[in-house]
């Protein structure tokens, strides 16, 4: 039986619940999304026709604060995916102890088919459609797959027009000139980088002897490949939606990034170049990349990349999940049996939401931080929570994923109970 993405995501919750002592109320609470909104967004196309695009926003849980989460533009976006991503955001924000709940949004569209003006009308139309569902104290947007700073700027501007007041804190990942934070664009990869460095130190591995393969060469994947290569890791394979490249001696990551950026097309704002056009390498498929004999594998594209069908062929020793949900629960069990150490998404890619939180704090205080301040605070938060999760895994003899969920569940359970009435009814006084 094929499980929906959300059913599979919920399995991680069920598994972690065996290890924590939280109330039945809290458990019930976390099984269901608080609110889901489906909209149809009308867009006047450049040829004069009118087209409607399906859009979604899910606020999964707001016990610990306003919901927070990205907006994805992709042809595969649907409510099940958005709800799963909002569920993961809930746990991610709790793992990092951010004063947020989890949310997510998306539009079912291939943005590469739109002109830049069509894309702007679509983005503003999305905000028109969900304006009553979001807000700086309610639900805060951010970038995700195929959305970026420019789109976040349009969204913030549209919201401000609707509310007739400048509202920078409703969207994070904005251009710096519109109140964006320094370091937000690189934050997801930077957060992952800090933990990879910390963990490789713990495991006594040196960058020069460590090979890396990265699936997905976008904001998160391209940046992590560059950060790792810069300190000496041998990045031997990278890929994007059109395929991958492999070079045993290591790839020249800065020139691949430069190539992808310089081949930016005039249509919309998406890079038209592909990593496959770079010379001196072997062409490989995305499926080949996942099963390469490397030390570190970094999925940084989409969900469900490592499943029961290919988990047995994975040869990497460590997997750092920069993407959300790249490994299914069935694959988790196989990887664990093979002794592969998986560092879970709700910790590894949490640098993005952490600097989004910093951006929100800066917007609300009106006081802006230097890049050094942002990165110092990010490093302190990421490495402290990673250490905590590592200790839970060691003490309880469980996987790092389970340990991350346990860590989050303890915080979520406490917050839900603090708001609830259960004690009043069950107390003997």
Q: Which residues contact 154 (CB under 8 A, 6 or more apart)?
A: 120, 123, 124, 127
Nearer to ligand NAD, 182 or 416 (CB): 182
Q: Is 240 in the site for ligand NAD (CB under 6 A)?
A: yes
Which residue from 171, 192, 172, 191 is spatially nearest to 181, judged by alpha carbons? 172
Of 104, 260, 379, 381, the catalytic one is 104
Cα 331 vs. chain centroid, distance in angstroms?
Answer: 20
Q: How many residues bind ligand NAD (CB under 6 A)?
A: 24
Q: Is 220 in the site for ligand NAD (CB under 6 A)?
A: yes
Residues 70 and 49: beta-carbon distance below 8 Å: no
Per CB under 6 A, the segment of 42-50, 139-147, 333-341, 415-423 that binds ligand NAD is 139-147
Nearer to ligand NAD, 186 or 398 (CB): 186
Which residue from 111, 136, 137, 112 is spatially nearest to 126, judged by alpha carbons? 111
Q: Is 69 in the site for ligand NAD (CB under 6 A)?
A: no
Nearer to ligand NAD, 180 or 352 (CB): 352
How many CB atoms sit inside 10 A of residue 201's CB?
10
Number of helices (H) and strands (E), helices first, in the chain? 15, 12
DSSP characters over 195-226 = HHHHHHHHTT--GGG-EEEEE--SHHHHHHHH
Rg of the chain on CA atoms, in Å: 21
Is 104 a catalytic site residue? yes
Q: Is 324 in the site for ligand NAD (CB under 6 A)?
A: yes
Q: Is 301 in the site for ligand NAD (CB under 6 A)?
A: yes
Determine which residue in the list 16, 39, 98, 322 makes contact with ligand NAD, applying CB under 6 A.
Answer: 322
What residues between 256 and 295 interact with ligand NAD by CB under 6 A? 286
Residue that the structure tokens 């250490």 belong to: 387
DSSP-based three-state secondary structure for 154: helix
Determine which residue in the list 221, 273, 344, 413 makes contact with ligand NAD, applying CB under 6 A.
Answer: 221
Q: Is 103 in the site for ligand NAD (CB under 6 A)?
A: no
Q: Is 149 in the site for ligand NAD (CB under 6 A)?
A: no
Rounded Cα distance, 284 and 69, in Å: 33
Give the CA dihedral 15, 16, 22, 25, nearest 10 degrees. Answer: -50
How is residue 11 written in tokens?
A: 């399995």
Q: How far is the CB of 148 from ligand NAD (least distance, A)?
A: 7
Nearer to ligand NAD, 22 or 85 (CB): 85
Could you tell me which residues are beta bridge partners of residue 135?
139
Determine which residue in the list 198, 241, 267, 383 makes contact with ligand NAD, applying CB under 6 A.
Answer: 241
Per CB under 6 A, the segment of 3-11, 16-24, 40-48, 319-327 that binds ligand NAD is 319-327
Q: How far is the CB of 187 from ligand NAD (least distance, A)?
A: 6
Nearer to ligand NAD, 107 or 323 (CB): 323
The HSE-up count of residue 424 (CA atoms within 13 Å, CB side) is: 5
Strands 139-143 and 211-215: unpaired
Strands 234-240 and 243-246: antiparallel
Rounded Cα distance, 352 and 68, in Å: 11
Rounded Cα distance, 317 and 261, in Å: 31
Rounded Cα distance, 90 and 80, in Å: 16
How many CB atoms sit inside 10 A of residue 244's CB?
27
Q: How far is the CB of 423 from ligand NAD (least distance, A)?
A: 36
Q: Is 226 in the site for ligand NAD (CB under 6 A)?
A: no
DSSP-based three-state secondary structure for 425: helix
Per CB under 6 A, the segment of 5-13, 117-125, 297-305, 366-374 that binds ligand NAD is 297-305
Nearer to ligand NAD, 87 or 146 (CB): 146
Per CB under 6 A, the segment of 41-49, 151-159, 219-227, 383-391 that binds ligand NAD is 219-227
Per CB under 6 A, the segment of 46-54, 120-128, 140-148, 396-404 that binds ligand NAD is 140-148
Determine which residue in the list 306, 323, 374, 378 makes contact with ligand NAD, applying CB under 6 A.
Answer: 323
Query: What x/- string results for residues 169 through 208 when contact with ligand NAD is judged by CB under 6 A?
Result: -------------------x--------------------
* Positions in the binding site for ligand NAD (CB under 6 A): 143-146, 188, 215-221, 239-241, 286, 300-302, 322-324, 349, 352
Which residues are catalytic, by number?
104
């Amino acid at each position: 039986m094929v499980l929906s993405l959300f059913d599979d995501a919920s399995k991680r919750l069920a598994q972690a619940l065996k290890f924590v002592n939280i109330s039945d109320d809290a458990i019930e609470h976390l099984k269901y999304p608080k609110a889901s909104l489906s909209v149809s967004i009308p867009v006047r196309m450049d040829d004069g026709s009118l087209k409607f695009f399906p859009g979604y926003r899910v606020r999964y849980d707001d016990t610990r604060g306003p919901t927070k989460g990205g907006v994805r533009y992709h042809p595969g976006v649907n409510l099940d995916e958005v709800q799963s991503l909002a569920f993961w955001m809930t746990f991610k924000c709790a793992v990092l102890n951010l004063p947020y709940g989890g949310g997510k949004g998306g539009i079912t569209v291939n943005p590469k088919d739109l002109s830049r003006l069509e894309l702007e009308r679509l983005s503003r139309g999305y905000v028109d459609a969900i304006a009553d569902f979001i807000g700086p104290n309610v639900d805060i947007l951010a970038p995700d797959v195929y959305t970026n700073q420019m789109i976040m700027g349009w969204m913030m501007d549209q919201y401000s027009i609707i509310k007739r007041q400048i509202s920078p804190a409703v969207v994070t990942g904005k251009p710096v000139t519109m109140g964006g934070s320094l370091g937000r664009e690189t934050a997801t990869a930077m957060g992952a980088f800090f933990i990879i460095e910390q963990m490789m130190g713990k495991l006594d591995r040196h960058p020069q002897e460590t090979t890396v393969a990265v699936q997905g060469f976008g904001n998160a994947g391209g940046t992590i490949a560059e950060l790792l290569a810069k300190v000496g890791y041998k990045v031997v394979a990278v890929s994007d939606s059109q395929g991958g490249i492999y070079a045993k001696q290591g790839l020249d990551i800065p020139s691949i990034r430069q190539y992808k950026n310089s081949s930016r097309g005039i249509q919309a704002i998406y890079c038209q170049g592909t990593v496959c056009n770079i010379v001196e390498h072997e062409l490989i498929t995305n499926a080949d990349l996942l099963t390469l004999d490397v030390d570190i594998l970094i999925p940084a594209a989409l969900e469900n990349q490592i499943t029961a069908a290919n988990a047995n062929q994975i040869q990497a020793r460590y997997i750092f999940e920069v993407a959300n949900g790249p490994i299914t629960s069935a694959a988790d069990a196989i990887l664990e049996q093979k002794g592969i150490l998986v560092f879970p998404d709700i910790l590894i890619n949490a640098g993005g939401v952490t600097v989004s939180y910093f951006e929100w704090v800066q917007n609300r205080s009106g006081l802006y931080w230097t890049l050094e301040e942002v990165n110092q605070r990010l490093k302190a938060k990421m490495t402290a929570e990673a250490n905590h999760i590592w200790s839970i895994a060691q003490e309880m003899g469980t996987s790092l994923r389970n340990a991350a969920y346990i860590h989050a569940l303890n915080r979520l359970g406490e917050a839900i109970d603090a708001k609830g009435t259960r004690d009043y009814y069950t107390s003997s006084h």
